[in-house]
């Protein structure tokens, strides 16, 4: 339970810390939460389910308020709790870090995200899912670019619309199963009539497709990412869209299992359209932040398509890709922000020759670029390779479309790097990296290489719970194959 309460307590405390000390407090507190998570990890056997809150009394309307984690949830909890310190560290030398509200909102956000990954009750999942919307909305509004009201309104209403679809699905399932407990709902999900299950799946899909975002629902994303402050973009891309991918694995597929075959290829197609579409637009972008936003659409489209294959390997690899995407998102948006804050422009053609002026930045940006285009021995290589293989097994054309990401990814990333870093210097001076930025890049690279060298540790970690979820739905698995 302390996992969930600590961020909330820290959020409240940060209002009582003098402005000077808030940034130190933020780092220390987030590291404390990380340490607690490590403590949980030490006592955690990947095969078991750990309950952290279970009121066991009869609550009205079949609400259960169960919280707990298995290995699938736990790896995402670990991801959240390690990414939040990195985000605070990346902001350390900015004006923002001294702002009490900012620190408090980040912790509040962390609480919401942890709740999403820990919830074992459909309604609780929805509640935490919506709670995350409040802090991110305020972060974008207070610390983002001025006059972004219309962008924010679009973002908020779009996500809220999607969430209401999910709410409807959860209500339908909860009433049919007369309980909002995950296990009860999953048991109903296996026997539900295909027609109902299909609509339930569509409701979930609406929420997840908007949050991920999948191809036709992505229009909020580039403008929101560009007007957001760096921390907001990082939270959105590195953590918030993981909620949707996690939701697909843990909630959508098991709970509407009989309806999944109907929409399986729809989602895969949308995901793959996103892969190509995002990449092609990224190739033509000249705004570096927008470029990374479209690159993100391309990456997550592949993950979503992979998840819908729903074989054990595909999901395990999708999780590796999710971690990889978090690393890449933080690294690239940090790089974009470094460029923007020091040159006051995001136009690629206005930049050039930065590598000469700031060799450190040149090196670390290059390293992250390579992680992003998944060269061997980084996390992405293994993940993308196996995802493409799984898609290829399902249909040759799906594999083919997915494989374009390898080529196009290299094109837009190397183009972005080359235009900004090489060539004749167009700037007079460029301040090199500060210690905190180097630290963030180094940690990211270390994790990427670690997972690239030993992907099996992640796979072994999540395998038991994925197999458990698949066992829940096992006797119908032949339909999907």
Partner 1 sequence: MDALIVIFITALIGLFVGMMKKPNLTLFLSIIGLSAAFVLMSYYGKYNSLFNNFEGLAFDSFHWLFAELVIGLTLLIIVGGFHYFKKDVEHTADYYGLILFSLCGALVLIGSENFFMFFLGIEIMSIPVYVLVGIKKQNILSSEASIKYFFTGSFATAILLFGVALVYGATGTFDFSELSSLFDSNSPMAIVGILFVFAALLFKIGSVPFHFWSPDVYEGSPDPVTAFMATVVKVAGLTSIVSLFAYTFGAATDVLLPIFYVVTIGSLFLGYLSALKQTNFRRLMAYSGISNTGFAMLTLLSGNFITLWVFLLGYTAATVGLLIISQILEKSNSDEIVNWKGIGYKNPFLGVVILISFLSLAGIPPFTGFFAKLLLLINTYQSNPVLVYLTLITSVIGAFLYIRFILNAFAKDSNAEKITIHPLHILVLSVCSLVVLSGWTLILF
Q: Which residues bind partner 1 (CB under 8 A)?
A: 59-61, 123, 126-127, 130-131, 133-134, 137, 141-142, 146, 149, 152-153, 156-157, 160-161, 164, 167-168, 171-172, 174-175
Phi/psi at 255 (nearest 5 deg)?
A: -80, -20
Closest CA to 289 of 335, 349, 257: 335
Alpha helices in 178-287 (DSSP H): 182-191, 194-211, 220-227, 230-234, 241-247, 253-255, 260-284
**Which residue, 106 or 307, is less far from partner 1 as judged by CB?**
106
Tokens 């919401």 map to which residue?
112
- Asked if 90 contacts 441 with a C-beta cutoff of 8 angstroms, the reply is no
d(CA 227, CA 217): 18
**Which residue, 156 or 208, is less far from partner 1 as judged by CB?**
156
- Asked if 246 contacts 315 with a C-beta cutoff of 8 angstroms, the reply is no
* 184 Cβ contact list (under 8 Å, min separation 6): 177, 178
**Which residue, 99 or 324, is less far from partner 1 as judged by CB?**
99
Residues facing residue 68 across a β-bridge = 51
Residues facing residue 119 across a β-bridge = 67
Q: Specify the 3-state DSSP secondary structure of 25.
A: helix
**Which residue, 173 or 386, is less far from partner 1 as judged by CB?**
173
Phi/psi at 310 (nearest 5 deg)?
A: 60, 35
Token digits for 235?
A: 């939270």
As measured in angstroms, the least distance from the Cβ of 165 to partner 1 is 8
**Which residue, 164 or 449, is less far from partner 1 as judged by CB?**
164
104 exposure class (CB count in 10 Å sphere: 0-12, 13-18, 19+)? buried
As measured in angstroms, the least distance from the Cβ of 144 to partner 1 is 11
As measured in angstroms, the least distance from the Cβ of 139 to partner 1 is 12
As measured in angstroms, the least distance from the Cβ of 175 to partner 1 is 6
**Which residue, 124 or 281, is less far from partner 1 as judged by CB?**
124
Q: Specify the 3-state DSSP secondary structure of 212.
A: coil
As measured in angstroms, the least distance from the Cβ of 157 to partner 1 is 5
**Which residue, 161 or 474, is less far from partner 1 as judged by CB?**
161
**Which residue, 54 or 287, is less far from partner 1 as judged by CB?**
54
Say how far residue 68 (Cα) sits from the centre of its chain. Answer: 20
**Which residue, 171 or 450, is less far from partner 1 as judged by CB?**
171
As measured in angstroms, the least distance from the Cβ of 209 to partner 1 is 16
Alpha carbon distances (Å) from 305 to 110, 377, 417, 441: 27, 24, 28, 29
d(CA 135, CA 240): 12
As measured in angstroms, the least distance from the Cβ of 30 to partner 1 is 23
Tokens 């302390």 map to which residue?
2
């Amino acid at each position: 339970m302390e996992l969930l309460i600590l961020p909330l307590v820290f959020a409240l405390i940060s209002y009582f810390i003098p402005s000077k000390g808030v940034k130190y407090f933020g780092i220390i507190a987030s590291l404390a939460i990380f340490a607690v998570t490590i403590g949980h990890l030490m006592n955690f056997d990947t095969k078991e389910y750990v309950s952290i809150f279970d009121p066991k009394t009869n609550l009205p309307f079949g609400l259960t308020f169960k919280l707990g984690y298995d290995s699938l949830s736990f790896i995402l909890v670990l991801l959240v709790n390690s990414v939040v310190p990195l985000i605070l560290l990346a902001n350390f030398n900015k004006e923002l870090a001294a702002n009490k509200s900012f620190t408090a909102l980040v912790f509040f956000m962390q609480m919401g995200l942890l709740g999403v990954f820990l919830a074992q009750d459909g309604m609780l999942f929805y509640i935490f899912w919506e709670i995350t919307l409040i802090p991110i909305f305020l972060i974008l509004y207070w610390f983002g670019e001025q006059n972004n009201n219309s962008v924010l309104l679009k973002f908020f209403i779009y996500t809220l619309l999607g969430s209401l679809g999910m709410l409807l699905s959860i209500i339908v399932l909860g009433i049919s199963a007369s309980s909002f407990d995950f296990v009860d709902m999953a048991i109903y999900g296996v026997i539900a009539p295909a027609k109902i299950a299909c609509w339930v799946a569509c409701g979930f899909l609406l929420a997840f497709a908007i949050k991920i975002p999948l191809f036709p629902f992505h229009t909020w994303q580039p403008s929101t990412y560009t007007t957001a402050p760096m921390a907001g973009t990082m939270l959105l891309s590195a953590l918030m869209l993981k909620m949707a991918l996690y939701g697909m694995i843990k909630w959508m597929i098991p709970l509407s299992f009989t309806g999944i075959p109907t929409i399986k290829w729809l989602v895969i197609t949308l995901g793959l359209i996103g892969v190509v579409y995002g990449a092609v637009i990224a190739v033509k972008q000249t705004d570096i932040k927008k470029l990374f936003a479209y690159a993100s659409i391309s990456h997550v489209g592949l993950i979503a398509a992979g998840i819908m294959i729903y074989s054990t390997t595909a999901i395990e690899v999708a999780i590796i890709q999710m971690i990889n995407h978090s690393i890449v998102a933080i690294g690239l948006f940090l790089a974009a922000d470094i460029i923007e804050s020091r040159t006051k422009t995001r136009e690629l053609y206005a930049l050039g020759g930065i590598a000469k002026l700031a060799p450190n930045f040149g090196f670390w940006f290059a390293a992250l670029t390579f992680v992003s285009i998944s060269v061997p021995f980084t996390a992405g290589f293994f993940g993308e390779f196996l995802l493409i293989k799984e898609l290829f097994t399902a249909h040759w054309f799906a594999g083919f479309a997915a494989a374009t990401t390898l080529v196009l990814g290299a094109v837009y990333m190397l183009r972005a790097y080359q235009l900004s870093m090489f060539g004749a210097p167009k700037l007079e001076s460029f301040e090199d990296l500060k210690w905190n930025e180097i630290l963030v890049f180094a940690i990211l690279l270390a994790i990427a290489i670690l997972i690239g060298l030993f992907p099996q540790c992640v796979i072994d970690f999540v395998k038991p719970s994925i197999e458990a979820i698949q066992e829940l739905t096992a006797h119908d698995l032949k339909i999907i194959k």
